[in-house]
Amino acid sequence: MSQPDFFSADQAVIEATLEKLLPAESTPPATIHQAMRYSVFAGGKRIRPVLCYESARIFSQQLDAAATVGCALEFIHTYSLIHDDLPALDNDDLRRGKPTCHKKFGVAMAILAGDALLTLSFETLANANVPPDRRVRIIAEIGRAAGTVNGMVGGQVADVQAEGKPVDAAALEYIHRSKTAALIRASVVAGALAGGAPDQDVARLGRFGEAIGWAFQVVDDLLDVEESSAALGKTAGKDQAQKKATYPALFGIEKSRAFAQELAARAHRELDCYGDRAAHLRQLADYLVVRRA
Amino acid sequence: MSQPDFFSADQAVIEATLEKLLPAESTPPATIHQAMRYSVFAGGKRIRPVLCYESARIFSQQLDAAATVGCALEFIHTYSLIHDDLPALDNDDLRRGKPTCHKKFGVAMAILAGDALLTLSFETLANANVPPDRRVRIIAEIGRAAGTVNGMVGGQVADVQAEGKPVDAAALEYIHRSKTAALIRASVVAGALAGGAPDQDVARLGRFGEAIGWAFQVVDDLLDVEESSAALGKTAGKDQAQKKATYPALFGIEKSRAFAQELAARAHRELDCYGDRAAHLRQLADYLVVRRA
């Protein structure tokens, strides 16, 4: 399945906003800004920012603030990749076909570039053009989603600790929902909040985001098994080599694929009430589950 | 000079608030919460939280929110120590007389514990009991102070890059103001904002915090030269061994001491207009410059 037709237009908005929000490479100390930009502009698809942006579109035509909030999410996503790739964690040399941040700038600078992107994310949110009461809700949502209690860092810790050990379905669910789904859910929720959605819709979009985020990780596991190194731009089959907990390893490929489809259907049902206003978000959901083919 | 008499009462409030804000050690995944708590409760003086708390006291009697904001600052300070101590950066085995986080929990967990504390800091601020318009200002101030452009990470990068090279006065000023003074300034400013200070007073307290934060770092440099390993609880003389840029190395001990006193006097002048309301903050300023004797 190819990208939805609006996707590259959204990406262009996000790229321009990222460019504006990141300090110039020449701003002292230059090296850290070079490292931050190197990793942010290493070819990501901007899935979280686009989800945020299209979630806001259901409720508003003024999408500048949602683009800014989306970029803050991309900073967090990028920081997590930089730190996950470090020698002490996944020890990856390649990311999206290019040397990882620490291979290019050294371990010290990669640690600091990750720290800096996480910090810049919250500074960016604090200055976003969203009413203050909604701005603090967005920051709280994203902070929780990136944190240790059912959040991204918690999922990463559980993932590291599960390596080489037998993992049951409950443990795998915890890892995937925390490590990946939480921030994708927060992307959709933050977009809804930036767009001015009423509380009931914020909750509904949260359920949509949770389902789609979980499906996204299941598909990621499937891709790691099925695709070659070249297509992924990273070392494929690595999950298996590292004995990482994955859906295909636990349930097999067919059941994993069916589960991803079920989650996608669950996500779609949450959008039914919005009719055409959610057309883009619906296409995104399909793209994320049957994506990169 | 001994601690001001109110200091231990303030510390007790901060310890209780830190205890409340940090996830329990038993919360899954337990290891990360153990690592976070290990480093937060490793015996810090809580200088940033106490500055925040006492800055708020000039403007308000309701100090609960300022204590919460102060704890968020302590989380950032602690994250910076954990990451600075890592093998790729300062490679320190001891901190306050105890094994550093990575010596106790491994490098991977120390990286993640730092990330988690930085994230928890902003989540804590987003949920603090301060009016939303002031809450976002606090988050923006702290985010900038912890960041790369004249902020903590920028100062750390410049410090790392200056090692073993000749450093002039301008470069040294950049390092110290960014690495240390910025977050101390933000502590005072955040306290003023949490206490409901008018804009003019927020600016005045910012100048106070800047001066005291800078003086604090100069005194830190002096202590590293003058004190023994035992009294500091870390490897003394390490700055010199690593050829770090310091005030005594560049200007000598006497001139450095006089400069710290001049900064302290500058800080005091900013507080003149508050009379007795700033008595505690004045004592803190003295303690930070003539401290730990």
Tell me: the pLDDT tens digits for B61-82?
999 999 999 999 999 999 999 9
| A217-231: average pLDDT | 77
Residue B289 contacts A where some CB pair is shorter than 8 Å:
no
List the domains of chain A with CATH numbers. Answer: 7-289 (1.10.600.10)
Chosen for mutation from A80, A91, A123 (greatest number of chain B CBs closer than 10 Å) is: A123
Closest Cα of chain B to A282: distance in Å? 30
The length of chain A, given as a count of residues: 293
Nearest-CA distance from A226 to chain B in Å? 29
pLDDT in tens, A179-200: 999 999 999 999 999 999 999 9
Contact flag B125-A139 (C-beta cutoff 8 Å): yes
**Mean pLDDT computed over every residue of chain A:** 93
pLDDT in tens, B134-184: 999 999 999 999 999 999 999 999 999 988 888 899 999 999 999 999 999
Mutate: best of A157, A174, A183, A242, partner B, most B CBs <10 A:
A157
**Distance of CA A181 to CAs A150, A185, A256, B110, Å?**
10, 6, 16, 24
Residues 210-269 of B with CB under 8 A from A: none
For A79, the closest chain B residue by CA position comes to: B115
- Restricting to A residues 26-65, those with a Cβ less than 8 Å away from any Cβ of B are 27-29, 31-33, 36
Window B:140-179, CB contacts with A under 8 Å: 140, 143-144, 146-149, 151, 153-154, 156-158, 160-161, 174
Whether A132 sits inside 8 A of B127 (CB atoms) is no
Tell me whether residues A116 and B32 touch, CB distance under 8 A.
no
How far, in Å, CA of A99 to CA of B235, rounded? 36
Query: Whole-angstrom Cα distance, residue A268 to residue A249?
Result: 27
Structure pTM?
0.95
pLDDT mean over B119-139: 98
- Whether B139 and A148 lie within 8 Å, measured CB to CB: no
C-beta separation of A194 from A52 below 8 A: yes
**The two structure tokens encoding residue B222:** 């002096």
Rounded Cα distance, A126 and A139, in Å: 8
What is the per-residue pLDDT for A290?
Answer: 75
**Residue at A223: amino acid letter:** L
Residue of chain B nearest A137, judged by CA positions: B126
Q: What pLDDT sits at residue B46? A: 97
Confidence of residue A293 (pLDDT cuts 50, 70, 90): very low
Reported as a single tens digit per residue, the pLDDT across A46-102 is 999 999 999 999 999 999 999 999 999 999 999 999 999 999 999 999 998 999 999
**What is the rounded CA–CA span in Å between residue B6 and residue A287?**
60
Looking at residue A142, its pLDDT comes to: 98
How much is the pLDDT for A233? 57
Q: What is the ipTM of this complex?
A: 0.95
The reply to whether residue A88 touches residue B79, judged by beta carbons under 8 angstroms, is no
8 A C-beta contact, residue A196 and residue A164: no
| CB contact (8 A) between residue B174 and residue A28 | yes
Q: How far is B71 from chain A (nearest CA, A)?
A: 16
Best B115, B150, B242 member to test A by mutation, with max A CBs in 10 Å, is B115
In 3D space, the residue among B123, B35, B2, B135 whose CA is nearest the CA of residue B72 turns out to be: B123
pLDDT, tens only, B12-41 = 999 999 999 999 999 999 999 999 999 999
A88 vs B contacts (CB less than 8 Å): 106-108, 111
Residues 6+ apart with CB under 8 A from B264: B211, B212, B215, B285, B286, B289
Would you mind telling me the total number of residues written for chain B in this entry?
293
Q: Using CB atoms, which residue from B111, B137, B148 is nearest to A83? A: B111
pLDDT tens sequence across B238-292: 666 666 778 998 999 999 999 999 999 999 999 999 999 999 999 999 999 876 4
Q: A22 contacts in B (CB within 8 Å)? A: none
Among A22, A38, A115, A150, pick the best mutation site for testing chain B contact (most B Cβ within 10 A). A115
CB contact under 8 A, B107 and A88: yes
Lowest mean pLDDT segment, chosen from A202-216, A265-279, B156-170: B156-170
CB A251 within 8 A of CB A259: yes
